[in-house]
Amino acid sequence: MGEPVVLRSGRLTLSRPVESDVEAIYDACQDPLIQEYTTVPAPYTREDAEKFVALAGQWWDVGSEFVWAIRDAAGLAGMIGLHRIKDGAAELGYWLAPAARGRGYIAEASRTVVDFAFGPLRLERLEWHAVVGNTASARVAQDLGFRLEGVRRKGLAHRGERVDGWIAGLLATDSRTRQSWAV
């Protein structure tokens, strides 16, 4: 892929995380909810943030994953990415720093990334995975139009154990209207 793509929405700029983001990433990843519901290491160290920023650059270089820092007027608000890009599909993942929550940022950033995935990237399918119980993430996926495909029993590796995980999918041909799930 080469050069990272910068995406913009009404209030946000999505760009590759860089070295100057390390401290903000480290601070955000101290949040217990980020540690509970994402794949970030726990405990999360400054070295973890440094490694993540370096890896994000490598992923862009080879086109295997596209990770963007979500930036608002105040600075780094969170992260969003297309992971395991292969064979016309990818997984959408995201987290938001506690101070940036409640403003609709993840929904806005996600719509922008989904448009990019199905537009210029020409992907056919996006997947969303979450630990069962992560209802905040599920609400965003529902709002984006993801269809719940089920519960993968012990389907996610999380903190050294297998846990149940939700999986949902969105096809390029699907309407992006809110979906209701029984979760």
Residue 170 CA to residue 20 CA, distance in Å, equals 34
pLDDT band with cut points at 50, 70 and 90 for residue 170: very high
8 A C-beta contact, residue 112 and residue 14: yes
CATH class given for the domain over 7-171? alpha beta
Listed residue (57, 50, 59, 56) closest to 19, CA to CA: 50
Asked which of 15-24, 137-146, 153-162 is least confident by mean pLDDT, the reply is: 153-162
Q: Cα 156 from chain centroid? A: 16
Stretch (H or E) spanning 63: none
Give Cα separations from 79 to 21, 43, 45, 75, 155 (angstroms): 11, 18, 17, 12, 23
Q: Where are the domains of the chain?
A: 7-171
Listed residue (156, 158, 147) closest to 182, CA to CA: 147
Structure pTM?
Answer: 0.94
Instruction: Give the number of C-alpha atoms closer than 13 A to the C-alpha of residue 178, restricted to the C-beta side.
Output: 6
pLDDT band with cut points at 50, 70 and 90 for residue 160: confident
**Rounded mean pLDDT, 133-146:** 96
Planar angle of CA 57, 66, 143, nearest 5 degrees: 145
pLDDT value at 2 more than 90: no
Stretch (H or E) spanning 102: none
